[in-house]
Amino acid sequence: MTLSKIWVFAESTESGITSTSLELISAASKFADHVEVFVASPEPGYSEIVGAYGATKLIQVTDVNDRLIGTVVASAMAQLLSGNTVDAIFFAMTPEGRDCAARLSVKLDVPVLTNVVNLSVDGTRLVSEHAIFGGSEIVQAGFTGSSPAIFAIRAKSFTAESRGGMPAEVVQVGVGDLGSAGKARIVEQHLEERSGPKLDEAPVVVSGGRGLGQAENYKLVEELAKLLGGAPGASRAIVDAGWVPYSYQVGQTGKTVKPNVYIACGISGATQHMVGMKGAKNIIAINKDEDAPIFSIADLGIVGDVHKIVPKLIEALQSRT
């Protein structure tokens, strides 16, 4: 290990610290002796899980209340940075992670390297890798100025591995009033209900795109996903069109998935989409346009009509059970 200290902004839901946050903690613990994790939750139990994944300290920001998490945590980090040497700070490429990284970047006058898919140590600094042009090229980048280096990292870039560490030491901080920047308030939270395996954890993902023709046809995707014990996903085009909620979106702005099998139904394969699913072990694509970019990464590509092929596939699978 070359680095002394890395901070990680960890996000939590009702079911605990998110898997993406655990990936970041695992990665940080490979690069630095001290890993300090920020959470915007007073939950004391988190010291065990973050400790197990390699964190040495858990910093709880206690006065988030109904304010936006990113804004509050950025201020907490800026306050604690004076008198503290931190080599790097890791964020997830989530809405909260981006908010926090962006606010902190201005406070420290340090740019953010975003969409990081890998990191390695080069001498005394971290260098990052970024997949560009839909993942066809990899750019390696690093900071030349003073620390800390701020990285916003894509989900599933690292493996979350428990190293059986001791519970992290817990420290509580409050940020107080944030002036005009802190004036946005959350008045209500809506959770979208989903049944079946989670999109970013399912062994099989079946996604639909514009080629489905109309919103009603998305039920074919759901049915096929269910029969294969998988999760349904979507391209940005049909999320923007309002066919399915954002939580279904696979791609640059949505979820990154790495299932055993990915089945793309009526998806042409825009850069935006491919970035989020290129890591699948096996890719099956069905599209009527033989020139669709998705075929360039498919293990099995079917040039044909999803409206004919998917119903037959569903029927065939049903008759097997």
Partner 1 sequence: MNITVCVKQIPDQSSPGKLDPGSHNLVRDGKLILDDSDSYGVEMALQLAAEAGGGEVTLVSMAPNGEVSGIRTALAMGADKAVLVSDAKLAGADALTTAKVLAAAIKRNPFDLVIAATESTDGYTGTVPVQIAEILDIPSVSFAKKVELSGGILKVQRQTELGYDQVECPLPALISVTAGVVEPRYPSFKGIMSAKSKPVEVLEASTLGIEPGRNQEIITVRSAEERSSGVIITDEGDAHQQIIEFLEQLKVI
Q: Of 215-234, which residues contact partner 1 (CB under 8 A)?
A: 228
Among 112, 116, 153, 234, the residue binding partner 1 under the rule CB under 8 A is: 112
Q: Which is nearer to partner 1, 173 or 302 (CB)?
A: 302
Burial of 12 (0-12, 13-18, 19+ CB in 10 A): middle
Nearest distance in Å: CB 254, partner 1: 10
79 lines the binding site for partner 1 (CB under 8 A): no
CA distance 262 to 191: 26
The interface with partner 1 within residues 37-76 (CB under 8 A) comprises: 68, 70-71, 74
Min dist. Cβ of residue 123 to partner 1 (A): 12
Residue 106 in the binding site for partner 1 (CB under 8 A): yes
Tokens standing for 240? Answer: 């923007």
How far is it, in rounded angstroms, from Cα 56 to Cα 33? 9
| Binding test (CB under 8 A) with partner 1, winner from 62, 253, 258, 307 | 253
SS (H, E, C) 43-83: CCCHHHHHHHCCCCEEEEECCCCCECHHHHHHHHHHHHHCC
Minimal distance, residue 164 CB to partner 1, in Å: 28
Judged by CB under 8 A, the residue of 82, 159, 180, 195 near partner 1 is 180
Residue from 9, 38, 143, 218 that binds partner 1 (CB under 8 A)?
143
Collect all residues with Cβ–Cβ distance below 8 Å to 274 and sequence separation of at least 6: 134, 135, 251, 293, 294, 297
153 binds partner 1 (CB under 8 A): no
Among 177, 179, 195, 216, binds partner 1 (CB under 8 A): 179
What is the end-to-end Cα distance of the chain in Å, rounded?
A: 52
Greatest extent of the chain over all pairs of C-alpha atoms, in Å? 67
Size of the site for partner 1 (CB under 8 A): 99
For residue 125, give the nearest of 32, 197, 187, 225 by alpha carbon: 32
Nearest to 267 by CA among 10, 259, 276: 276
For partner 1, the closer of residues 183 and 219 by Cβ is: 183
Rule CB under 8 A: say whether 181 interacts with partner 1: yes
Residues 183, 147 contacting (CB under 8 angstroms): no
Nearest-CA neighbor of 154 among 132, 121, 122? 132
Binding mask 271-290 for partner 1 (x = CB under 8 A): xx-----x---xxx-x---x
Q: Position of tokens 């900071």?
A: 143
Q: Which of 171, 303 has the CB closer to partner 1? A: 303
- Position among 3, 27, 204, 277 found at the interface with partner 1 (CB under 8 A): 204
User: Using CB under 8 A, which of 3, 77, 101, 168 touches partner 1?
Assistant: 101
* CA–CA gap between residue 196 and residue 72 (Å, rounded): 34
Taking CB under 8 A as the criterion, the residue among 19, 62, 94, 118 binding partner 1 is 94
Minimum Å gap between C-beta 165 and partner 1 is 26
Classified as helix, coil or strand, 5 is strand
Of 127, 160, 170, 173, which lies in the binding site for partner 1, with binding defined by CB under 8 A?
127
Residue 156 binds partner 1, judged by CB under 8 A: no
By rule CB under 8 A, what string of x and - marks binding of each residue 288-307 to partner 1? --x----xxxxxxxxxxx--
Segment lying near partner 1 (by CB under 8 A), choices 42-50, 51-59, 113-121, 165-173: 113-121
DSSP-derived 3-state class of residue 122? strand
| Cα–Cα dist 118/129, whole Å | 5
